[in-house]
Structure 1
């Protein structure tokens, strides 16, 4: 007997046709996922550039004067590197999306133009934020990062052997269709939000430094069942998302372990780079461990349910997580988590704020994804 989640794909998926036909189908639609990823990263740039989106006021600045002013003498190599690396994915992702439709030269030119327009728009709007500084040097380094990314995209697409392997791998593992492309982009978004080391594993409550006294052992924090429940529901949401994406449901356990291992490794690396030494492993706490264990047990049970029932439970998990994260659990602010970092640049608050925004928005985006695929 076939497993409840193992279903026959729609004709658009070309599940029963030879591999060359699959590759033709993917070639015609492969830009969709890249477009979602590019759009998502552009929204990240907007958030990081204009956060906290408050205090807007006219400061008597003229954008033409900003562009024509001498390059900032106080501009450091660190600032230039951060800006360049921040906009490199803009050129890369837009270039990859355009390369599926246009030739190499057009892809680079349009990608660069869009990157410059994005950066110029952010610098213009920052003139109305007292907490931000509009700079022509930022525009220059952002544009350079976009150009490097666009050239890298053209180089990558010139390696047909790499793309054929990636397309073959995706065809074997994942369903096709616009709903699935959005789901894969949603998976990338979830992973991006979770690598923040000031968030517990699969958690949503920011870690902050407890008050200390010399030679005094801090009292252990009480176990928070709501935080553990949020971790359980987060794992169920992730598992449900993977169930909707994978062709073979029994692969969800392996896929889940790969995703969680990747996130854990990224958390450890970012913690080693950004956190104080004593806070290196604070993202592994008792609530997270109990929540993940309970979530894995529940997910195994969900895998044996009919497709409609599993989607419904995934939607309920998303609603429950949204309620706990917004109305029940006591959350520290992104600024409170800054005390455990040894890195004190202003980008840090944007990084934490973005992680919080993704944590709060993911359940709603997942609900939309589940509603769309339920009609397929």
Structure 2
């Protein structure tokens, strides 16, 4: 009983994650948001058409898996205020409503195809995620993990948003066609195995971008953790998860010769420099830490947008062994997140600055 009472105020994190995932779905469903036009289709005809006309195994599976986490996050969010069955019902209906809206809007995009099979797969995926959520939320290990998280991070408004930002940062780094913590797309012509191409010079600007990217994460963790000494374990855990996820994604999606291209020299040097910068920032008072992090975020934005040529999401498509259009959307989404993250971090740091000033005034 006490565990659930302590966990309830922290449920804002679930809401942030569910809202963020909904934005991801909208981006992936409607990207690149151009070419809108009336195509003479009736949505009711799409809904009642035979499933065999619009069905493909890959599309059904990908849509099911895409909505599984969404249903899980929605059910966890609803579970804070409702019982098991209402949480599953509302999570499934919410996901279905978003799916129907996306399929309806896709009728106006010539590059997209509306499908009732997609809606069915989305609903099944969301239902599966919701059922999993309500089955684990009362388990002892889930309660312990929740209590551990609450004890590890500071209390107060805004902390859950900061944790959601850290999750967003991790999502942007998993893309295997980007170097570790980098933002410059790897392209096939520059790295084709056995090809006689001139070796590119070592780019210190890319290393600096990696260092600043890591500094942003480290500064964010320093503002969130109760004890700053825990930032070492936090960084090691986050980087380990990112590296493992990146390797798995590369093994599943990239051509065999491109499996480890994301481990380049610029990224390794940048990680070392970034760790040193975080070690120095850990000695700063919280108020000055916020300004240091803001400066790092601003510098990263300048580097990513005006110094480095990040290329386009389609530049790395030939690295993939898959030929599905979903990958281009994924590349574009991860690249957009990596560019938007510093702006969101700056907003959070502004809130944190005023919060610290208020505490100091007391």
Fold agreement, TM-score > 0.5: yes
Alignment partner of 1:33 is 2:33: no
- Residue of 333, 345, 352 corresponding to 1:366: 345
Structure 2 residue ranges without an equivalent (≥5): 356-362
Alignment partner of 1:114 is 2:94: yes
Alignment partner of 1:198 is 2:177: yes
Corresponding residue for 2:360? none
Corresponding residue for 1:294? 273
CA contact (8 A) 1:66 1:135 kept: yes
Q: How does 1:120-199 map to 2 (within 5 A)?
A: 120-159=100-139, 161-199=140-178
CA contact (8 A) 2:7 2:147 kept: no
| C-alpha separation in 2, matches of 1:227 and 1:287 | 6
Q: How many residues align?
A: 355
Corresponding residue for 1:104? 84
- Rate the CA distance shift 1:215–1:329 in 2: closer, same or farther, 3 A: closer
Residues 97-156 of structure 1: per-residue CA shift (max 9 Å, x gap) = 000111112111111111110000000000000000001111111111111111111111
Q: How does 1:1-376 map to 2 (within 5 A)?
A: 23=3, 26-73=6-53, 75-159=55-139, 161-210=140-189, 216-376=195-355
| C-alpha separation in 1, matches of 2:114 and 2:103 | 5
Structure 1 residue ranges without an equivalent (≥5): 1-19
| C-alpha separation in 1, matches of 2:242 and 2:9 | 28
CA contact (8 A) 1:208 1:332 kept: no
| C-alpha separation in 2, matches of 1:165 and 1:25 | 13
Residues 234-293 of structure 1: per-residue CA shift (max 9 Å, x gap) = 011010011011110011112101111110111111101111111111101111111111
Cα offset, 1:172, TM superposition: 2.4
Cα offset, 1:24, TM superposition: 6.3
CA contact (8 A) 1:32 1:178 kept: no
Cα offset, 1:299, TM superposition: 1.2
Structure with higher helix content: 2
- Rate the CA distance shift 1:165–1:351 in 2: closer, same or farther, 3 A: same
| C-alpha separation in 1, matches of 2:20 and 2:120 | 23
Residue range with higher mean Cα deviation, 323-332 or 198-207: 323-332
CA contact (8 A) 1:26 1:167 kept: no
Residue range with higher mean Cα deviation, 203-212 or 119-128: 203-212
CA contact (8 A) 2:137 2:143 kept: no
CA contact (8 A) 1:37 1:93 kept: yes
CA contact (8 A) 1:208 1:337 kept: yes
Give the SS at the match of 2:155: coil
Cα offset, 1:26, TM superposition: 2.7
| C-alpha separation in 1, matches of 2:171 and 2:111 | 26
| C-alpha separation in 2, matches of 1:78 and 1:334 | 22
| C-alpha separation in 1, matches of 2:282 and 2:109 | 49
CA contact (8 A) 1:30 1:100 kept: no
Report the TM-score when normalising by structure 2. Answer: 0.94
| C-alpha separation in 1, matches of 2:129 and 2:192 | 49
Cα offset, 1:214, TM superposition: 10
Give the SS at the match of 1:375: helix
| C-alpha separation in 1, matches of 2:296 and 2:339 | 13
- Rate the CA distance shift 1:216–1:355 in 2: closer, same or farther, 3 A: closer
Residues 325-345 of structure 1: per-residue CA shift (max 9 Å, x gap) = 112111111101001111111
Cα offset, 1:90, TM superposition: 1.3
CA contact (8 A) 2:11 2:80 kept: yes
